[in-house]
Structure 1
Amino acid sequence: MSERVAIWTDGACSGNPGPGGWGAILVYGANSKELSGGDAATTNNRMELMAAIQALEALTRPCDVDLYTDSAYLKGGITSWLAGWKRNGWKTADRKPVKNVELWQRLEEAASPHHIQWHWVKGHANDEMNERADLLARQGMRPFLIGRAARAAGTFK
């Protein structure tokens, strides 16, 4: 794999659970691509996972990837906990079902063609690309906030 791609991801949620969004920025050389989306009823952790999944699924061939996230849940899950969960039949160390198992499985599949270095960055600490990913996540959430407000006001069914 000779192509190196840098990816920044973030998730956002208004309430937890509640409307949420995800954002990702992919940078390859001088080229970049921004992705975002959301869900009407979700959690912040699900949106963090979706950001990474969508970014990796957007790659069209195997790449060397540096993926930057401010989610300890995402980084810890993919780098430390996933192998144990699989060995335990998708159960945690205390034998409880893994939350978001379908997204973890999808992330594992999306990651498999690539050589990925996972990096944790401190959120809201003036990292320009992390801040941009956060903005994209909030933009992805916005249509679902508008729908929620309209339903609460009785103007949208």
Structure 2
Amino acid sequence: MKKVNIYSDGACSGNPGPGGYGIILEYNGNELELSGGEKNTTNNRMELMGVIVGFEALKEKCDVTVTTDSKYVADAINKGWLSSWQKKNWKKSDGKPVLNVDLWERLLKAMDKHNVKFVHVLGHNGHEYNERCDKLAVSERDKFANS
């Protein structure tokens, strides 16, 4: 199975406000940059969209390592929150509804056939790929902020 790295970041001005995401897919030394954004969104939605678009770009089953600076995304997977939310009909442990259910469902579908590992890194801390993804995300955010 191919071993693919997805590096992803999101950016938003205001919450909600204009936002963007940036992704780098890396396989066997080859890289593909993807980015996009929305005029009125939140940072968490852009963090999720980056990861989703990265998975949706994969054409076959892969071993995937996702590297993100979003604790929201990484912890939801690594700490089992996502699984728990599903079992509780998209309710959190405090009984409140989970936000961004549409994107969580899309992410589950996108990563379903892959072997997946999520790694959290500190943002703006010199991680080469995270810094590059941040630049892509900010560039997309700025396009929507200035339109």
- For the superposition of Structure 1 and Structure 2, which TM-score range results when normalised by the shorter chain? over 0.9
Give the 3-state SS of the residue equivalent to 1:64 in structure 2.
strand
> Structure 1: how far apart are the matches of 2:125 and 2:27?
24
TM-score normalised over the length of structure 2: 0.97
Give the 3-state SS of the residue equivalent to 2:146 in structure 1.
helix
Deviations 1:127-146 (A, max 9, x none): 01000010111112122111
1:100 paired with 2:100, answer yes
- Percent identity reads 50
Gaps of 5+ in 1: 148-157
> Structure 2: how far apart are the matches of 1:9 and 1:113?
20
Deviations 1:2-49 (A, max 9, x none): 200011100000111100000100000121100000000000000000
Partner residue of 1:130? 130
Which aligned pairs between 1:85-96 and structure 2 lie closer than 5 A?
85-96=85-96
> Structure 2: how far apart are the matches of 1:143 and 1:9?
18
Deviation at 1:69, TM superposition (A): 0.3
Deviation at 1:78, TM superposition (A): 2.2
Q: Which runs of 4+ in 1 moved over 3 A?
A: none
> Structure 2: how far apart are the matches of 1:17 and 1:11?
13
> Structure 2: how far apart are the matches of 1:66 and 1:58?
14
Please identify the structure whose Cα radius of gyration is greater: 1
> Structure 1: how far apart are the matches of 2:22 and 2:46?
9
CA RMSD of aligned residues (A): 0.7
> Structure 2: how far apart are the matches of 1:117 and 1:92?
23
